Structure 1
């Protein structure tokens, strides 16, 4: 996997569940949507309904090499979708979106995230998870772009081509890979994370003024742990940023999955201030895929897996970081498996896309009245808010944007 992308390709094959935190009581949750194909981002629309992107299952079209699975190809199809959840029902309201996946529908890239502007217009980040050079093999596709959609006509138009930007500029000066994974609307600007390019982008909602405003750095492990034991020599890993949230202080906060070998406790949350300066806001996490602030300024972080992905345990966690730095595990395991995104509803409940690496088995959970256990902050750094893959191939690559999928 060119572990530049998501470490979540979704590393549909491996994944995990030990966070190094104290065990928490299980919060209560209900399943409000199921049968989804590799669900990713979710958000509430102006009508109060919940909208979820499904990365799809690929198809029988042209193929490109998989950066994460040796000697395998990701093949194109139009199985991506957006599902609307409301009034006790779920319905796909946008279909035919581009999707790339292995023949079994895993290791998927496609619609990754959705957000609405002030007028109610939806914008969608469409992943890709490979070298943009290969896209020509797939024909005229919107993989690797940001699009805007019309649900009434089941149509969409391209807004910006992040994959082309990576191909032309490669801001992090690493492997050329693009996997747009999340976005937010900030006034007339779209702020987007490319998990493959390791960059944070800004552009106008009309697609103009596209530019990289921050690059997330690699880190070197002094004592890396590999599936086969391996060497303890220093090893550089990809950052694999996965989500961006705007804090109450106006800064952007970015979650990090990290690349192979997906070290436990090494994922960070970065803060990008208005001056463009990057600092570590909080650390000590494992494979983060999403962030969300509540009305009180508490930050919620979502762990895709609590153990290194290659250990094969898919249990994830929802962790609350209070404004004073206190950490609380809201839910860990107990049905929470390879979660990819979360959002806070007006009702105060936490909504999570669950099993985001699985075709036909994805869910949306509603977590209510959570019981939780505060965590010690002694092992974490927190800055003030105001201020089935081939191991060899994985080592040589970048986390495919949640690998591919995320992700």
Structure 2
């Protein structure tokens, strides 16, 4: 079982288990883009403009079975896009990108993240969310499950690396063959990405050479997990205990890495969404250093979708939902983790719903893609006016650096079909 539809300089380290400090905060946000179709990653280019990916709504092309082998098939279209936000205006500057989604347009896999190198060259990560065996066989030659290099001036792109094919050929975690790349970063001449379906961290040169797995993430063994009640809509129907069935006291859940950020120490930090049944407070942030071995940096989160460091070494973590997704409450949170381990919740709920990614602007504000699982209703938020007052909180474990889709759970809704291969902004 993998994620279904729904991302070096060595310093001294110490393990600290202590009574953490959590801060209550008051923040406001403004909506700077609306009407997006399953928005994913977002990034500022060197020219200061903000770019956001849209996974789209799939289409009427070929279809592939979902990873679980149950439920509706995922069908292909060219409804993915990249939108630029400049001076309060939005413009789709790249359209016709590959998209894969359920028949109602939810649960989309498509453009999931975008990054710019030091020279301003963009790279885009395209998700997939199924067994790569079916990709070429059922869909033809698409760029699902790949990293591409686009040309915004000509509305074209070229493939750089095929992460889906790497999973098919190597399967680093030794589990089911599945690929769903969700997030990546640019580190010099390397692209470093997480594959949530394959449960691994990969790197490849920007010229496409030396694609390899850095590490694979093991399953989490949950003790007395909480499952959805029998009959609850689920993207893992085979895993929901039937009425009267004895619930297992231990359950092996997929790791599901969702994003990667580079820390001030040069290590990679990886957020964990967690697999079904999406245990509350069960998500971790992993650190992967020069030895390539993942260790737990911080824990006690729920369904993390993204991470980002600011210039002061604070780590911002984004929760897709504060409760297990199958409960139907998709209020999310933005949490800041200071270098000393202090946690501050900047925003929780109050309009923050199933957020998918974040980035830090040069202005110090936090920008978030909101309603990332809702085609036509996605947003980009700018969180500002952050004020906090520390207050005591329960203990948590943190490794501190010294000196420094579930869219199928929503009610189905009518989606405006794409026009000329692209969806139109509201």
Please give the TM-score of this superposition, normalised by the length of structure 1: 0.89
Richer in strand (by share): 2
> How far off its partner does 1:24 sit?
4.3
Tell me the alpha carbon deviations over residues 224-271 of structure 1, each in whole angstroms, 9 at most, x when there is no partner.
000127414200000000000000010000000000000000100000
Following the alignment from structure 2 to structure 1, what is the Cα–Cα distance between the partners of residues 111 and 103?
18
Q: Using a 3 Å threshold, how does the CA distance of structure 1 residues 47 and 166 change in structure 2: closer, same or farther?
A: same
Q: Using a 3 Å threshold, how does the CA distance of structure 1 residues 61 and 352 change in structure 2: closer, same or farther?
A: same
> 1:62: which partner in 2?
62
Q: 3-state SS of the aligned residue for 1:168?
A: helix
Following the alignment from structure 1 to structure 2, what is the Cα–Cα distance between the partners of residues 66 and 45?
34
Q: Using a 3 Å threshold, how does the CA distance of structure 1 residues 69 and 367 change in structure 2: closer, same or farther?
A: farther
> 1:176: which partner in 2?
177
Aligned residues: 377
1:340 aligned to which of 352, 356, 362: 356
> 1:280: which partner in 2?
296
> 2:128: which partner in 1?
128
Q: 3-state SS of the aligned residue for 2:165?
A: helix
Q: 3-state SS of the aligned residue for 2:349?
A: strand
Following the alignment from structure 1 to structure 2, what is the Cα–Cα distance between the partners of residues 123 and 27?
32
> 1:213: which partner in 2?
214
Q: Are 2:287 and 1:251 equivalent residues in the alignment?
A: no
Following the alignment from structure 1 to structure 2, what is the Cα–Cα distance between the partners of residues 355 and 211?
33
Tell me the alpha carbon deviations over residues 75-125 of structure 1, each in whole angstroms, 9 at most, x when there is no partner.
100000000001110000000000000111101100000001111111111
> 2:412: which partner in 1?
none
Following the alignment from structure 2 to structure 1, what is the Cα–Cα distance between the partners of residues 391 and 318?
15
> 2:115: which partner in 1?
115
Following the alignment from structure 1 to structure 2, what is the Cα–Cα distance between the partners of residues 304 and 69?
25
Higher RCO (CA < 8 A, seq sep 6+): 1
Q: Using a 3 Å threshold, how does the CA distance of structure 1 residues 305 and 389 change in structure 2: closer, same or farther?
A: closer
Please give the TM-score of this superposition, normalised by the length of structure 2: 0.85
Instruction: State the structure with more CA Rg.
Output: 2
> 2:3: which partner in 1?
5
Q: Are 2:379 and 1:368 equivalent residues in the alignment?
A: no
Q: CA RMSD in A?
A: 1.9
> How far off its partner does 1:70 sit?
3.2
Specify every segment of 5 or more residues in structure 2 that has no aligned partner in the other structure, as ranges: 7-20, 231-240, 242-246, 410-426
> How far off its partner does 1:44 sit?
0.3
Specify every segment of 5 or more residues in structure 1 that has no aligned partner in the other structure, as ranges: 11-20, 392-407
Tell me the alpha carbon deviations over residues 266-299 of structure 1, each in whole angstroms, 9 at most, x when there is no partner.
1000000122222100000000000001111000
Q: Using a 3 Å threshold, how does the CA distance of structure 1 residues 91 and 170 change in structure 2: closer, same or farther?
A: same
Q: 3-state SS of the aligned residue for 1:356?
A: coil
CA contact (8 A) 1:325 1:377 kept: no
Following the alignment from structure 1 to structure 2, what is the Cα–Cα distance between the partners of residues 374 and 156?
48
Show the 5 A alignment for 1:88-237: 88-135=88-135, 136-228=137-229, 230=241, 231-237=247-253
> How far off its partner does 1:46 sit?
1.2
Tell me the alpha carbon deviations over residues 152-203 of structure 1, each in whole angstroms, 9 at most, x when there is no partner.
0000000010000000100000010001111100000110111110000011
